[in-house]
Amino acid sequence: MDIEVLGALAVRENGISITPTAPKPRQVLALLALHAGQVVPVATLMEELWEERPPRSARTTLQTYVLQLRDLITTALEREPAGAAPRTAKDVLVTTPGGYLLVGNGGAQDMREFERLAGLGYRAMDADDFQGASRQLRAALDLWAGSALADVHHGPQLEMEARRLEESRLCALDQRIEADLRLGCHREILGELTVLVNRYRTHETLHGQLMVALHRSGRRSESLGVYQRLRTTLVRELGLEPSAALRRLQRSVLMAGPEPAAEGGRPGGERPGGRRLTRVG
């Protein structure tokens, strides 16, 4: 079974889509797909569909959605390769005492591939292999085709999962940019960082990386302007001052003058695992 959640939802068995068009069955499939190979409790599915107000017929209605998914799976199983062990839809979407389980059966899953590649990238960063880190993290990020489950209505469970995936994506993006900065690619990533700070207007790490990239490119006044705009946004929208690390970075840019020289802290603190801080120059 091939499962894609890093963008639009797409689930295929034997190359045949089993993704329903109706909104609530799509929610059920999305939650099962995110946890392929694991039991998703009935209570979790019901909370996703109806939050804290399930109708009296909720359990029966959920069973109907499962039957609809199994109808799609049955059609896909008609294309089983010759010689494959016979399966039924109940073997693919399994009823358990506590819930339901979607059997992934070793197909491609973009979420797990993203996690694998990102993990390789983080380990390369730990080893100061910035070329390898940039390559692995870039490959991980290339798997994303938009926001996670972009075409599925989000109840509380899917909203939580989508936020978790987005945070993982941002972490990988932050580390890939960090690797590129370590490789001296500050001019090459200026455009990308400019777009990112406009999208994530209070994200300190991205703003700090743009400050570093601008300063290394000889654009010191613009680097300081990034800090001032972020500070204004943080104070106005969140009632917060920039972090101590970002303030240290601003001071290092001020003290360095037009030529990059001083060391600045990484906005938001050290990376996980205590890796080194970024230098301004």
List the chain domain ranges.
Answer: 2-102, 185-281
Task: Give the torsion through C-alpha atoms of 263, 268, 274, 275, to 10 deg.
Answer: -50
Chunked in runs of 10, what are the mean pLDDT values of the chain (281 residues)? 96 95 97 96 96 92 97 93 87 95 90 97 97 98 96 96 96 97 96 96 96 95 96 95 95 75 38 39 51
Q: For the domain bounded by 2-102, which CATH number is listed?
A: 1.10.10.10
Contact 204, 243 (CB under 8 A): yes
Cross-strand partners of 12: 2, 17
- The confidence score (pLDDT) of residue 22 equals 96
Structure tokens at 172: 């990988």
Report how far apart, in Å, the C-alpha atoms of 135 and of each of 12, 62, 126, 140, 193 are: 29, 43, 14, 9, 18
- The confidence score (pLDDT) of residue 107 equals 86
Structure tokens at 179: 């690797």
185-281, CATH topology level: 1.25.40
CA-CA distance, 214 to 223, in Å (whole number)? Answer: 5
Rounded to a whole number of angstroms, the distance between the first and last alpha carbons of the chain is: 48
Strands (E), 24-173: 39-41, 93-95, 99-102
CA-CA distance, 225 to 130, in Å (whole number)? Answer: 28
Contact 7, 148 (CB under 8 A): yes
Report how far apart, in Å, the C-alpha atoms of 134 and of each of 19, 138, 141, 156 are: 34, 6, 10, 34
Contact 123, 132 (CB under 8 A): no
> In sequence order, what are the residues at sequence separation of 6 or more whose Cβ sits closer than 8 angstroms to the Cβ of residue 122?
133, 175, 272, 273
CA-CA distance, 198 to 108, in Å (whole number)? Answer: 34
- The confidence score (pLDDT) of residue 144 equals 97
Sign of CA dihedral 221, 225, 226, 228: positive
- 219-238 CB burial, b ≥16 within 10 A, e <16: bbeebbebbeebbebbeeee
CA-CA distance, 201 to 105, in Å (whole number)? Answer: 41
- The confidence score (pLDDT) of residue 81 equals 82
One-letter identity of residue 225: G
